[in-house]
Structures are given as C-alpha cells and as structure tokens.
Amino acid sequence: MEFLGLLVRWLHVIAGIAWIGSSFYFIWLDNSLEPPAPGSDNAKKGVSGELWAVHGGGFYNPQKYAVAPASLPDTLHWFKWEAYTTWLSGTALLVLVYWMRAGTMMVDPSVAALSAGQAVGIGLASMVGAWLVYDGLCRSPVGKNDTVLGAIVFGLLVLLAWGLGQAFGGRAAFIHVGTSIGTIMVANVFFVIIPGQKKMVAAMRAGRLPDPIYGKRGKQRSVHNNYFTLPVLFIMISNHYASTYAHKHAWAVLVLISAAAVSIRHFFNRRHKGAVEWRYLAFGAGLLGVVAWWTAPRLLPLPKVDGPVTFDQVRAIVGQRCVTCHAPTPTFAGIAQPPAGVVLHTAEAIGANAQRIYQQVVATRIMPLGNVTQITDYERAVIAAWIADGAKTK
C-alpha cells in the first residue's frame, strides 16, 4: 500500500504539472496575441490574433481564429488527458491516504464526533456538491457577469472551507477543499470545454458554421481553471506545514492564502496582456504577510509541571502516545510506515527529533492526529519542560 501510494502520488504530480503547465501556457498565449493588420491575409482568413515566439532553437507562429478556420486539418491536437489523469490519480490518492484511513486521517473527535463512513460521505458530497452549485451558477444569468460570478464562487468556497473545518481535522479539511476545486476544474473540461469543442468540430465537418457560444463558454471555464490552479497547488503542499492547517482558524488561513494566490495569478494574467498592475501583486503579498504573522507560533497555556522532568518521564509519554505510529513497524491500525519516516522507539531517536516533537506536539498540537492516543495537556507540558531544559536523554 505504501509503494502504491508512492506511485499514485508520483503520477498525480506529473499529470498535474502537464495540466497546469498547459493552462498557464494557453492563458499566456491568449493574452499575448496581437490582432493581424486590417486587410492582411490573416485578417481575411478570420484570424483574431497571432504571435511569434522562439523556443528550443525554433520559431513558432501560433494563430487564433475568431470562431473557426474555413476548413479543418485532418489532425487536431486535443488537451484533455492531462486533466483527466490528474483528477483520477488525485482521487485515487485521496482514497488511499484519507478515505481508507478515515478514522485516523479525517475524524477529529475534538472537532466533530463522526464515524469513518460519515466522514467519507461528507468528503464525497463536498466534491459533487461543489461542482453542481458552481455549474448551476455559470449557467444562470449570474454567469453572464464574470466579476459577479467570480465573487460569488469565491464566497461559496469560503463557506465550503468553513463548513469542512467544522467536520474534519485541519489536514483533511484542506485536502477536501482542494479535491472539490479539482473536481470543478476537471468537470469544466469533461462536461463543458471538450463537448463544446466537439460540437464546433462536428458542425464544421458537416459544412455548417459553428455556434460561437461554445467557444465563449469554453473560454470562461478555462479562465476559471487558471485562477483555481494556485490555491490548489498550495493545498497540495499544505500538509507539510502544520502552522496553516493546525491553526485555530485554519479555514480562514486557507481563504487568505487562496485570495493572495488569485490576486497574484491575476497580476500575471494582466501582465501578459501588457498591463503592469502592481496593486494586485502587492495585495497578494500583503495577504501572505498577514498569514505569516497570524500563523507564527504562539504557545497556548500549559499546566505547571512540578519538579524537574526526567527523560524517563518523557520516554514513557512518547512510548504510550507516539510510538504506535512512529516505530519501524507501526502497530496502529492503517499505518504501514512511520509518518514522514520519523521513528521514536529509542532514546537516541527521541533526542534527535526533540525539536520536531516540540513543533508537532507542543507548538501546533497537531500530533497525535485527532489526539487518537489521548495525550493530555500535562503530558505536553512535561515534554515542553524537558526540551526547555536541553532535551537531555541521559
């Protein structure tokens, strides 16, 4: 299972690079096109924009038609499998890491008393529901105003982040916001962009003029996907940074970082159009600065520890609360390998990982996950006192 998870994660990253790379490239391309000179051959052919580029020792001249060329070539290159592979591999990874171990990875009794089945059901519902609500908005009269639509969609994603934060532990909440956005993105490709393109191609091959509405819808959804990319990428790496998902108001931290990401993405999209609008970059950077200040370690009050702390006390706590997972062969159900490769079964290992223990157990209190081993605040205080005294193992 561990090796299967490695392979699926590797595939997910590779496919994600391909998908997001093509999204970045085509949005840049679309924003960088220059209209052909009036009366030129390209203008007469219906070309709405073109550019010249050099890369890898060759020259390229991409062109975009206002609707479609007069005739189609025999070979058309489609861009869809990157999206499908990213979503399929990401969902497989979600099942392997979270849904199959929902009792550990998703359920946090201090947040909500859920069964594993209920947690998985909420996760699945968030993915399907996010797409249905988003798609309904895009097809409604609201969808005709991109600014209003964008504001409403962002507001609904804020509610989703808050709602999932009331159901799951921080890591699971973050990941399920990401999978919900990812589901919207791939569904845009599968249900809107590709079918629209197929209808345009079919019309041309039947000798009819394609309906431009399909191109407009596809462009709208493609732009939305472009703005979704940076928040999703942050969520993909967020599990490595407990200061974000373990925060008391983790959902708000996620919202601020996502807003910063959207603003920074908008700066670059506008820059590709030739408009240098530093306010968007400054706003995004400012939000990230707020997050950096807000998530800086602030220790919660701990009980007073009477008398000097011995290493034997610390070793007993770690042995009871941590070693079931952090051992060469974990005994905790569903854990095949020690998380992050950290083992705490010997005095040397505990001493070598003292600062990591402090970060995870005392500063962020994210460990044990969901406090499944029921470590007490007094035991956290004992560990903190031992580390403050130099983390001696002898």
Contact 163, 176 (CB under 8 A): no
Question: What is the mean predicted confidence (pLDDT) over 224-249?
Answer: 93
Closest CA to 333 of 103, 5, 6: 103
Kindly report the backbone phi and psi dihedral angles of residue 226, in degrees, each rounded to the nearest multiple of 5, phi listed first. Answer: -65, -40
* Average pLDDT of the segment spanning 337-342: 85
Beta bridge partners of 53: 60
**195, 203 contact by CB (below 8 A):** no
Confidence of residue 232 (pLDDT cuts 50, 70, 90): very high
Averaged pLDDT, 246-264: 96
Helices (H), the chain: 2-32, 41-44, 81-97, 102-105, 116-139, 146-165, 170-187, 194-205, 212-238, 242-245, 250-272, 278-294, 311-321, 347-352, 354-357, 377-388
By CB atoms closer than 10 A (0-12, 13-18, 19+), residue 343 is buried
Nearest CA to 232 out of 2, 5, 17 is that of 17
Could you report the per-residue pLDDT of 264-277, keeping only the tens digit for each?
Answer: 999 999 999 999 99
Q: How confident is the model at residue 307 (pLDDT cuts 50, 70, 90)?
A: confident
Mean pLDDT taken over the chain: 93
Residue 125 has pLDDT above 90, yes or no: yes
Q: Confidence band (pLDDT; 50, 70, 90) for 1? A: confident
Q: How confident is the model at residue 131 (pLDDT cuts 50, 70, 90)?
A: very high
Residues 305/381, Cβ–Cβ less than 8 Å: yes
